[in-house]
Structure 1
């Protein structure tokens, strides 16, 4: 039984299908059948007319953005509506959102996860081959470089990378919210408190899932300016 917030993504491959609705109604019905019952809300339905082989998907990017803003799950009728290319799907697995396909509702993260495991295994094999090549070079008398620093330096570097990742995520969310905040400002909401209330009224959660305050809006707006 479906629970929570969802963004529906429908895709057809030709302009003729997009104009006639051919294929869209079947996808829409599959999504609504999946959502039937439970406690859920459909934030938006996003439709794209594009080949599954093309990785340039502005409407899919819009759907992912809506999911990040609202903390929603992306729902599609079938996984092939997203893409038929494994590497493209692996990129989606890093989008930071949940994805569910109506034809395999229990296989959402598992399916993308399997592809991620395959990619990781490929990376491991490359690493193994690299180590073997270095060992062979060393056996031939080639001098190899390596880390000679203080272990504390490595710890500091690791912490710095962690901070950088968190900052990058915060910057990305600020960019996602920039257009929404601009819409609120265009509607006449100018103060930070008014903008916070506007975001709360749209049921857009903060990064930690809470409600907005003026201070948080100010922080996001400043981050967006440097995006």
Structure 2
């Protein structure tokens, strides 16, 4: 029997909302899994928003799928917004699933990369996300260049080269925190203190850089 990871999430505000509760999501996934003959391993993030992918249980699920001894064929969510409210973030997970060879299923949208039709829907979403990412990237790049001419920095720790920070952001577009740390270490890039990267340090540096970049873009 195929084993899938069932991922559940509710924010603090949504915990009591009709149709968004953990049990409603669990039941939807259970029905879909039964129809496909899947066994389900459950991961849930309660009281957390979907503004980013940096949620403990989601990252644990993605790390499990990345393991060389992977014991699950993919991840399934009842609704797309349980995984992410960002098309770009969702596309990043899709790219990760494709690169690592596991399935991603969003029941409400008919995305199921284990089937031809679901793969088609996923590809259409990928195209939209790539367009959105390019538009955002062009806007951010223009703002960064203008700020650099003014001598403004972007929140990089003083001893961290901008090239390292930019590499971190590029990796995070398609990699989990743990995978990003592994790649940075493999490429011989260190933190501002010269230490090896961990998932925690990647998250902290990304948050600092992103906040500074957003401030520049909004200025």
TM-score, with length taken from structure 2:
0.47
TM-score, with length taken from structure 1:
0.46
Greater Rg by CA? 1
